Amino acid sequence: MGGRQHASTVSMGSLISARSRCRAAGSDRSARPASRRADRLMRPRTTIALSVGQRLELRRRQRGLSRRTVANLVGRSEEWLRLIESGQRELNNIQDLARLAEVLRIDDPAALIDWPTGGFAPCPPRSNGESHGLRRVLLEHPALRACGDRPIDTCDIDALAVTLDECRMLWASSPYRYSLLSHRLPALVEAVRTAHWQLGDNATAELLIGTYHLTRNFLAACGDHELAAAVSDRAMTTSARYRHPLLMTASSWHVAIELLQTNQPLRCRDVALAAASRVDDAGSPAAEPVILSGALHLLAARATAVAGDARDSAELLRTATHAARRLDTDHLVCEIAFGPAELGVAEIEIALARYDPVRVIELAATTEIVPEQALERRVTRHLCQATAYLIEHNPAAAVLALMEVVAISPEDLRYNADAQQCLHGLIEHDDYLIRAELGRLIELSASTERAYGCSLSRID
């Protein structure tokens, strides 16, 4: 399997390189940096930690100061500052560090010391006072609490079910869902795990699986796919233990999408199609097999596109389209969305996976916007659009797409790993025409920190 996965990666890389060579029309010098930038944009999304030099450059641009002006105020040469910002020279003089912090109005000069400062944190629970929250309750079994001094609370299953529904609603519709769930999810996960450990019945098992599905969505959006994969595996294990067909199928989708997010598209496709083949035997209400089968085939189509097999991806997409046409509107089953609107967003993702930015832009412009669609998927549409514009060397349009993200969900600019990568791509473009707008986006990404006390790299 390792060999097959490597081959798929090479196929995507060859596609990118071929397109870059074609567009360069013989200009090797300009083609190479463009190809490298596009390649970075098409990589699996990861969190971004800015270097000291990058933070200095961001802050300098945010204040509208030229490199020469800052260098003169610090008492150094413009070339010295250029080397610092590009990472070719270390900032290891305390007097220079303090002077730069003063000139650029950086409140905490420690942010300019070259140690890990967090960059854009992968998710709120790991970057604020809740760092002992979500990760701790996922890794600490309730039995450990029973052996300690903390009392085990009596379980109220009905109240826990209500809390889970409230968290689901917040995640689907609140523009501040990241900060709200970063505080509510840890307590919910701990309480539901404790309830299932105490009672061990079907009701608490279903509650636990539903909580795991929501938690995986949250962690995945933040870019913490290592922990998200572990959570999806737990949901699958619990579903299989209690032999709940619907939840087993849904948990398979969650496992499969984490395989895709961790660069295993062929494994994702295999798991998704294996689960889809068992949907008809799920014994659930009539609409649910259609929703789950369509969602699994749609996910398999995305994975196959990432693996570089356009023909099989198109065939799987046709199967998913047929299922979507049987539904009047989008539905949500076990935190899995499927329907006509979801199909439209997935088509955009598939076009991006096939490295067809022109098609992405066309689809994003024509895809119908459904107000009741989950915020996460509406944000995804604009982030794919922004990425496509960056690949097409149109940073101004990419900025507008990110502004659409901010209008829908301002916290995504701070917490969403894909939004962070788009912002980083704009910084790398270094287009003077968008510096004011870029500075505004940087301010917005930091404003969430000031509002909710999170630890973004201290550049203001």
- Least reliable range by pLDDT among 203-212, 284-293, 399-408: 284-293
Is 415 part of any domain?
no
* Range 383-405 average pLDDT: 93
Residues 264 and 26: their CA atoms lie apart, in Å, by 34
In the prediction, which pLDDT does 98 show?
82
CB 100 within 8 A of CB 112: yes
Whether pLDDT at 102 is above 90: no
Is 288 part of any domain?
yes
CB 442 within 8 A of CB 406: no
* Range 183-189 average pLDDT: 93
Give the three-class secondary structure for 57.
Answer: helix
Structure tokens at 252: 């398979």
In the prediction, which pLDDT does 112 show?
66
In the prediction, which pLDDT does 23 show?
43
With cut-offs at 50, 70 and 90, classify the pLDDT of residue 134: confident
Is 222 part of any domain?
no
With cut-offs at 50, 70 and 90, classify the pLDDT of residue 259: very high
> Which of 63, 81, 112 marks a domain boundary?
112
With cut-offs at 50, 70 and 90, classify the pLDDT of residue 261: very high
Quote the crossing angle between the two packed helices 435-452 and 52-62, to the nearest 10°. Answer: 110
Task: Quote the radius of gyration of the chain (alpha carbons, Å).
Answer: 24
- Structural domain tally of the chain? 2
In the prediction, which pLDDT does 66 show?
87
With cut-offs at 50, 70 and 90, classify the pLDDT of residue 187: very high
Whether pLDDT at 178 is above 80: yes
With cut-offs at 50, 70 and 90, classify the pLDDT of residue 24: very low
Whether pLDDT at 160 is above 80: yes
Is 134 part of any domain?
no
Q: What is the pLDDT of residues 194-237, one digit of tens each?
A: 999 989 999 999 999 999 999 999 999 988 899 999 999 999 99
Is 96 part of any domain?
yes
Q: What is the mean pLDDT of the chain?
A: 79
Whether pLDDT at 314 is above 90: yes
In the prediction, which pLDDT does 443 show?
79
In the prediction, which pLDDT does 116 show?
41
Residue 105 belongs to domain with CATH number: 1.10.260.40
Is 157 part of any domain?
no
Rounded to the nearest angstrom, the gap between the alpha carbon of residue 182 and the centroid of all alpha carbons in its chain is 15
More confident residue, 7 or 340: 340
Structure tokens at 414: 């701070």
Residue 336 β-bridge partners: 333
In the prediction, which pLDDT does 432 show?
77
In the prediction, which pLDDT does 15 show?
36
309-315, Cβ contacts within 8 angstroms, sequence gap of 24 or more: 310/354, 313/350, 313/354
In the prediction, which pLDDT does 88 show?
82
In the prediction, which pLDDT does 154 show?
61
Structural domain containing residue 292: 263-354
Is 340 part of any domain?
yes
Whether pLDDT at 279 is above 80: yes
Q: Is 5 exposed, middle or buried (0-12, 13-18, 19+ CB in 10 A)?
A: middle
In the prediction, which pLDDT does 85 show?
86
Is 179 part of any domain?
no
- Least reliable range by pLDDT among 7-21, 142-156, 439-453: 7-21
Whether pLDDT at 459 is above 80: no
Whether pLDDT at 453 is above 70: no
Taking alpha carbons only, the member of 115, 213, 118 closest to residue 171 is 213
pTM of the model: 0.71
CB 57 within 8 A of CB 128: no
Q: What is the pLDDT of residues 329-338, one digit of tens each?
A: 899 999 999 9
Whether pLDDT at 404 is above 70: yes
